[in-house]
Structure 1
Amino acid sequence: MQTYDLNNHLESAPKHIGALMGFERTKVLQLQLRAGAFVPEHDTDADVLIIVQKGTAVFDFSGKQVELTPQTLLHMLPLEKHSVRALDEDVEMVVIRIER
């Protein structure tokens, strides 16, 4: 058993993306965005689960927008192009990347 601290890294930067841990074909990351900050369009060659812990994030999939809150879970398929931005408050998310 091991625990991981989900510290706030937004004091020194408008966004933070950092690895928390990994095992086999799975990587767990922490993503934090200040209000209004964004991550430009990209994709990955793995399945991805997004869990919002705080705030509201808007994911854009080629013009289709999906709002995520702590009450929602997002699953993205490999190679799905997307961008993400924080709305009116800071956003904290856990990103789970699972290679097939």
Structure 2
Amino acid sequence: MDGTGRIGRLMMMRAQPGRGSELADALVRVAEGLRGFPGCELYLVSQDRSAPDTVRVTEVWADEAAAQAALAAPAADSTAPSVNDVLAMLAGPPERVDVVPLGGVGAGDAGR
């Protein structure tokens, strides 16, 4: 990515056995902290129905700079989980797929 234009990320995280709901709850709290964050258009947390220790996050950002700013910003809520808190719940590294939002419903109707 060249840092210009909208970006999307599809994240998949596998929690340590039995910790999927805890991970999902933590990521929903992270999402709440991003509400109104400049450049965050979508941060959707989903838990896999058939494999509850698998949690997915779908992100849409105005640009790469906004996504990086969110990672660097202090949490709006001091009790919100940190990146390290989330990583400690994982059974392995998260999987990330970078995508280009083209269109659909939601996220400001991605195909501007």
TM-score scaled by length of structure 1: 0.35
Flag the structure with higher helix content: 2
Q: Which has the larger Rg? A: 2
- State the structure with bigger RCO (CA 8 A, min sep 6), 1 or 2: 2
Larger strand proportion of the pair: 1
